[in-house]
A and B are shown apart, each in its own frame.
Chain A
Amino acid sequence: SAVISQKPSRDICQRGTSLTIQCQVDSQVTMMFWYRQQPGQSLTLIATANQGSEATYESGFVIDKFPISRPNLTFSTLTVSNMSPEDSSIYLCSGEANYGYTFGSGTRLTVV
């Protein structure tokens, strides 16, 4: 099954700055998903990223705030732009595996 390496695992950022999160998969996956998990909450889907096309964003999420790249079938990035304290959360990527979906270990972001 696919293994996803996600980095950074955590970061503390100043408001107004941007952070790019990377996910590297050890095998090719067609679809990748980016989620946000706020403290004590479930995972909320931000967008679906397919290779070679623009990401599809869920309601409440926009490309200017969360630009996503998917240059090939093993890699994707999510940028959290112009951060505010409300963006403090865990961000996770996911890709399709044989038995379901595999997840990166998450990025814990704190915006101060």
Chain B
Amino acid sequence: SQQGEEDPQALSIQEGENATMNCSYKTSINNLQWYRQNSGRGLVHLILIRSNEREKHSGRLRVTLDTSKKSSSLLITASRAADTASYFCATDGRDSGTYKYIFGTGTRLKVLA
């Protein structure tokens, strides 16, 4: 499959708790991005981390990248009901000589008020 894997597939937490999602990918990358998608709507770009970076923060979001393990994690701190959405990682890089932009399988997050 072209896609990377994300886990968990689904996550349900209480408001105020932290949510951690993991992404693993298969190819060498230039960078990795995380997106949010509310049900039936378009993709919202959250954060980009370059292959030479290990950690990045944006507001309540913290992203880590381990290129040796081909994995990344997204941490949402102090979650809110409005964070309920699907979260996807996406990587760009070369696979078999072709440049591609590939999405992970996604994590469906539900934050309970």
Q: Judge: A and B partners, yes or no.
A: yes
Q: How far is the CA of A56 from the CA of B98 in the complex (A)?
A: 8
Q: How many residues of A contact B (CB 8 A)?
A: 23
* Closest B residue, CB atoms, query A101: B101
Contacts of B100 in A (CB 8 A): 45, 48, 58
Stretch at the interface among B40-48, B60-68, B71-79: B40-48
Q: How many residues of B contact A (CB 8 A)?
A: 21
Query: Which chain A residues numbered 82 to 112 have a C-beta less than 8 Å away from chain B?
Result: 92, 94, 99-106, 108
Q: How far is the CA of A103 from the CA of B46 in the complex (A)?
A: 13
Task: Knowing that A41-B106, A43-B88, A45-B100 touch, tell me 14 more A-B residue pairs with CB under 8 angstroms.
Answer: A41-B105, A42-B105, A43-B103, A44-B3, A45-B2, A48-B98, A48-B100, A56-B98, A59-B2, A92-B42, A99-B48, A101-B33, A101-B92, A102-B45
Partner-A contacts on B (CB < 8 A): 2-3, 31, 33, 40, 42-43, 45, 48, 88, 90, 92, 98-106
Partner-B contacts on A (CB < 8 A): 31, 33, 35, 41-45, 48, 56, 58-59, 92, 94, 99-106, 108
